[in-house]
Amino acid sequence: MPFYVASEEDILKGIVTDIYFLRTKRILEKYGLKKKVRMEIHAYSLPRNYKWAVFAGLEEVLYLLRNKPVTVYSVPEGTLFKAKEPLMIIEGYYDDIAVYETAILGILRHYTSIATKAARIKRLAMDKTILFFGLRALHPAIAPMADRAAYIGGVDAVSGVASEKYLGLKPVGTMPHALIIVFGDQVKAWKAFDEVVEENVPRIMLVDTFFDERIESLMAAEALGEKLYGVRLDTPSSRRGNMRAIVEEVRWTLDLHGFTNTKIVVSGGIDEKEIIELRDLVDAFGVGTSIAFPKSIDISMDIVEVYEENSWKPISKRGKWPGAKQLYRKRPGLNDLILPLNAKAPEGYTPMLRKYIEQGELLVKLPSIDDIRKYVLEQLAEVEELEPSTT
């Protein structure tokens, strides 16, 4: 009765792959076809209404490819990119690369999809706080991965306790309904939280368990007084006739009683549309499923050059652009040019792909998770407001 998750060792050995790669390897070996190739990683299309995505998962791909006979070029982790732009180039003998394609794409696609959704949510909320509460939507084996992807994408904090151990992120959270139900009384539960939990944890009381949010918010404010930092409304969907009107009423009532500094946190079913509807009223959003189960960013990997007769020959399947490419960018914003890898750099543009691994050796000191997140937020500030997309 195990957890059905692949071990790190099996992933590193290339055992977690698709059968057709093993067969291809056997056939090529039998025919003595050992060819050096350049494989490009890109997303040829993005989900509807998406103008960009956030490239994430690079650190894990480098961990996978380190010490393997390959050379890797990549854009930095956290780079915003558009459809068709080259994100990575992996160079080496095809038979050394083939079995890793499944894992490379799986890592990049999963990370990038979560980071992109987190970034969209954060772009819409901007100066308002986004807390990622999505772990209950995922297998626990990947909890740190999901928290890392969401944090890179720009959420302000994650609730996962294990992420402190794996990522060095301090978990953030409030209280579950279960606490209040076990006490059988909101006020007793809130006071117990205040008594037991460390002083540096903001007192954010859940105010939708038994009574109306307006009534419970005021009860929390009266019970905790100045110590109350905020209230969280996780209003059940069956009661959400008009969530904006509920939040307005809570804000009005708190203000009326002098609790003008009390923050309002809203969680449960929050996606892009809800952020837009509530962002001027709400101080923080708890977001789970919409980030944990985002639209998929279709990252793929294709041979674009083959080394023959002492030079790289451009080649590709139909529908893809042959030749290894460089992505040039002029900031602010995504003013991008795609040019052949060895073309002359256009003036004022920065080449985005750089060499990370040379014949298995890691050449670059990787940035911290906070540096990657900061890089994403800088770019988000340079792109225009999104057209919201519903999941």
Nearest distance, CB of residue 274 and ligand PCP, angstroms: 9
Q: Are 302 and 317 in contact (CB under 8 A)?
A: yes
Tokens 């997140």 found at:
373
DSSP state of 45: -
Q: What part of residues 97-136 is at the interface with ligand PCP (CB under 6 A)? A: 133, 136
Question: Which residue has tokens 């025919």?
Answer: 31
Query: Which one of 45-53, 174-182, 190-198, 346-354 is the stretch in contact with ligand PCP (CB under 6 A)?
Result: 174-182
Of 64-72, 222-230, 257-265, 280-288, the window that binds ligand PCP (rule: CB under 6 A) is 280-288
Cα(293)–Cα(23) distance, integer angstroms: 33
d(CA 136, CA 75): 32
Q: Which of 269, 314, 351, 388 binds ligand PCP (CB under 6 A)?
A: 269
- The residue among 77 and 271 lying less far from ligand PCP, judged by its C-beta, is 271
Among candidates 257, 260, 266, 201, which has minimal Cα distance to 231? 266
- Closer by beta carbon to ligand PCP, 42 or else 203: 203
Q: What residues numbered 295-354 form the site for ligand PCP, per CB under 6 A?
A: none
State which residue, 223 or 270, has the beta carbon closest to ligand PCP: 270
Q: Which is nearer to ligand PCP, 266 or 357 (CB)?
A: 266
Closer Cβ to ligand PCP, 159 or 326, answer by number: 159
Choose one: 40-48, 273-281, 285-293, 327-335; the region binding ligand PCP (CB under 6 A).
Answer: 285-293
Decide if residue 289 touches ligand PCP (CB under 6 A): yes
Maximum alpha-carbon separation in the chain: 81
- Site membership for ligand PCP, residue 294 (CB under 6 A): no
User: With b meaning 16 or more CB within 10 Å and e meaning fewer, what string describes 147-167?
Assistant: bbbbbbbbbbbbbbeebeeeb
Distance CA 76, CA 80 (A): 10
- Of 369, 318, 384, 386, whose CA–CA distance to 153 is shortest? 369
Q: Fill in the DSSP letter of residue 283.
A: S
Q: Given the complex with ligand PCP, which of 102 and 290 has the nearer CB atom? A: 290
Q: Binding string, 130-169, against ligand PCP, x = CB under 6 A?
A: ---x--xx--------------------------------
The minimum distance between CB 29 and ligand PCP, in angstroms, equals: 48
Pair 313, 319: CB distance under 8 Å: no
**Residue 17 or 159 having the CB closest to ligand PCP:** 159
What does DSSP assign to residue 230? Answer: E
Cβ closest to ligand PCP, residue 80 vs residue 291: 291
Q: What one-character DSSP code corresponds to residue 147?
A: H
Beta carbon nearer to ligand PCP, 144 or 294: 294
Is there a cis peptide before residue 332, judged by omega within 30 degrees of 0? yes
List all residues 6 or more positions away from 335 whose beta carbon is below 8 Å from its beta carbon. 329, 349
Complex with ligand PCP: residue 27 or 178, whichever CB lies closer: 178
268 binds ligand PCP (CB under 6 A): yes
Stretch that binds ligand PCP, among 267-275, 333-341, 357-365, 376-384 (CB under 6 A): 267-275
Q: Please state whether beta strands 350-351 and 53-54 pair in parallel, antiparallel, or not at all (unpaired).
A: unpaired
Residue entry with tokens 């509530």: 278
Residue 315: strand, helix, or coil: coil
CB of 77 to ligand PCP, least distance (A): 25
Site for ligand PCP in 200-259 (CB under 6 A): 234
Report in angstroms how near the CB of residue 177 gets to ligand PCP at its nearest. 3
Alpha carbon distance 160, 143 (integer Å): 7
Residue 286 binding ligand PCP, by CB under 6 A? yes
Pairing of strands 88-93, 228-233: unpaired
Contact positions toward ligand PCP, by CB under 6 A? 133, 136-137, 176-178, 234, 267-270, 286-290
